[in-house]
Amino acid sequence: MSPVSGLLGVLLLASAARGFGILPGNSRSHQEITEEAILNVTVQVCRALAEAEGNDFALPSQPFTASGVAAACRAEGSVKSFRRAIGSITLRNVRVDLLEALNASFHFDDETFVSGRDIITEGLQTVKADNKRQNFEAAQDSLGETLHTLQDFYSHSNWAENGNALPNSNLIRPDASIGNLADESRATCRSCDGDDCRNNILEDIAREQILTTGYFAVIPGTASKPTGKCSHGGALDLTSRIEPTGGINKDTFESEHGFLHAEAAALATMATSEILEDVRRAAGNQPFLQMLGISRGSGKALCFVIDTTQSMSDDIAAVRSAASSLIDGQAGTDDEPSAYILVPFNDPTFGPPIRTSDPEAFENFLDDLTASGGGDDEEPSLSGLQLALTDAPRSSDIFLFTDAPAKDRQLRSTVIALIERTQSAVYFLITQTTANGRRRRRQNRPQAPGRIAESDARLYEELAEAAGGLVVELRQDELQEAVGIIGQMSRSSLVTLARGSGTPGDDGDFTFVVDQTVGDLQLLLTGPSSLITVTDPQGGRQEFNAMSLRPVGNLQTLRLRPQVGRWRVAVQSPNAYALKAVGQSPIDFLFDFVEYVPSQNTFDVLDTRPRAGANGSLLVTLTDADAANVTRVVLAEVAGSAEVPGDVEALGRGRYLVRVPSVPSAPFVVRVEGNAPDAAGEASPFQRESATSFRASNITIKAQAARNLVPGTPLSVPFSVTVRGTGGNVSIRATTNNPLYAADAPGSLPAEPGASANGTVALSVPLNTPSGTTVTLVIEAEGPGGGGDVNYVVLRISVLNPVSDFAPPACELLCVVRCVRNCRAAPWHLLVMVSDGAEGTGVERVSLARGNGTLYVRPAPDNRNVTLATYDALCGSPDVELLVVDNVGNADTCSFNAFTASGGGRAAFFLSWAALALALGVLQSLDLC
């Protein structure tokens, strides 16, 4: 065994002993703690929103589930995005044990209280900055990593042993005391009495409420700890054999202090809820729910990538009209997007992405588009698509409008990598000759009039095949109808039943299963076909040709009456074609490729392609765990009938770990089969396929980056590449989601078969890059000889400027007209000055957290750090609570009462002459005091 392999083995062993468990079992795991807190806080936020809107709120049944909570929040359409967000956060939590196994600070081992708290507070700042810029998936990543360290405090410290029933709130406040910390020279433990460690913490430590944690070491020759200190404990901890022996961790019921495991897990759950509440106050209710994938609609983004060169002038008007119809048709339904994203591209410019949650604002952005420039045959369409894939949430539906081939073909593999990582569907709508024959001239191209060349179209077809989308070639006057058809693909409950494609003259035969939950069954086919034969489960046959299908451009659609059972579709075509069978159903699945470690029963999500021909693992999650169960998962080759079935292990809560013996070398999709009860309660089979197709690779690439990037300070991102088979020079490419972000990498690395070659990417962003910006770094490695075997690693890194403002804004009561008699209909008034102090970052928001009156907010004259808030209500509603937030997310509440004019909470309340002088101009204009 090589030294590197030996160290890796040690790290994997250590990961199993670094906190609460990973996978479900008798003890509470990090996933269970995190998910329970997310569900609880989400319920509270949705209840507060319902009460503010004057609506009733019905608590979901216990125990809370994602589907039950989404329904209670009146967001049934966003169950899938809610489950995806929970999964992303919990898996990032788990990753800390794998990547930071020996870093004591990430686990509060070795009495690393200050550095552990720094990890939490910096992570919290990152989450708030990401949310402020609506980079919600980056916020999920940072939140998951931060929660791991926070939760480990309660498992590894003696907070529970000291009798604390509430969490340590100062762990999320960088300017507060963590507690009475043990000096390095102070003894904290005695040896356990055999296997009995109930009394190994010294009595004076508990009496004086001293905080300590255990020491931990797993690598031989590194085990040491100061005299008299506690150890973490467990079979792998070498310090637990040094006097004082034993340990104090509460990771499981079987741990040395497992008798307090339930208490530690409860404290960790409360602390997780507390940090989520802090994030909510900083972001606001709706953005907080968006971070968790919850919205009063689909939870998905509607993303348009539009060519704005001169030849698209007529098309842009048609796109506006088509988009308006699509947006208006989705408004107020379960299919209404949670976000709208517009990425224009011209030549040579592209972007920046424009994002909004307001459909009217999005339509205004579309109205502002103008066509200009261009002039040559090709446009940077892949650059625009790359921006969309990095800015839109996972599993988005992206619609790209152009009339030209791509001039940036070098981004092909990067775009495919992002499609695979985001599992987004991409639909290309390519406009051709209009009714009056006008279109850009393409010289020396032997194609039919008004059609881009086959070689150019093939690139778009390849990308659409990878993304589970379609390439629709049509006239400009057909855009409205085509967008209406393709726009249905963005429905929240859309599921893929089957997909396939064929080359010219390649007849296809496809089968799929329809269960009782499937409605609105449709076939979509691109590429004019001669004949489609559909056989239903009862054996009935129907034949359709191009005339009976009434194509729109090269798109043919066929709506079928759903029948439960197995369907067959035969396609005869002299042309290349792509087929999708879709329907609507509450039963769907999410999945990630993971690296599974059987000996430790743990896994990590892959940021790369899986290894071809080797065993692999997937984590599959059903969107409605109460309505179905999974019995079979296969990797099915896209071209052909070969399938690789996996071994399915239920993990609970609708999650399944799937192990496959050999990942296919050819492109494949993930197919999930199972049972769902029919109307009579009997088990009925269902089948779903991933819209995205995937590829494996003989190249392994790994990289790890720091959580944050400081503007103007280069960040080194080390990576390694391993090649199976023939060695040689491996080509390296590093790209980012913004041309202003520099990613300097070696052009190639020499790699011997089976050995690793190491390199570094130097990443940097301009000084003026705001906090919360997401940098998406894609590092690609192409095998020797340029044979097309490419693997990649996709890293998402948040920009964070140093923060020195840790204090929330303070409230000063300037003036109040009190309620002096018991008259509920009498009015009362309040004027409050909210200030962030001379050194603060400024007041971002003052909002009504509680109260039935009216709040007016205005900035104070000539003072960016001061906001004036006026509140009017009736004496029947005498209490008001204001939420005050500064520009880096420090938040607090200010409470007032109409009869006493008193306040409560952490914020300061006092009447100052300076404050009155500042507000004098406002006071004089008010009929108030």
pTM of the model: 0.90
Sheet strands (E) in 539-576:
541-544, 555-560, 565-572
pLDDT score for 573 = 84
- 12 alpha-carbon distance from chain centroid: 26
Regions of the chain where pLDDT drops below 50: 1-17, 433-450, 599, 903-929
Q: What is the pLDDT of residue 449?
A: 36
pLDDT at 452: 59
Helices 359-367 & 313-330 angle (0-180, nearest 10): 170
Helices of type H across 2-135: 3-15, 30-52, 66-72, 79-99, 113-132
> Chain-centre distance of CA 273, in angstroms?
19
Amino acid identity at 59:
L
* Non-local CB neighbours of 547 within 8 Å, separated by 6+ positions: none
Q: Say what the pLDDT of residue 23 is.
A: 52
Phi-psi region of 19 (alpha: psi -120 to 50; beta: other; left: phi over 0): left
- The pLDDT score that the predictor gives to residue 445 is 36
Domains and CATH numbers, the chain: 27-292 (no CATH), 494-585 (2.60.120.380), 589-689 (2.60.40), 699-799 (2.60.40.10), 803-928 (2.60.40)
* Torsion, Cα of 306, 312, 316, 322 (10° steps): -80
For 204-254, what is each residue's pLDDT tens digit?
Answer: 999 999 999 999 999 888 889 999 999 999 988 999 999 999 999 999 999
pLDDT on residue 581: 95
**Three state DSSP letters for 350-362:** ECCCEEECCHHHH
Q: What pLDDT is attached to residue 339? A: 87
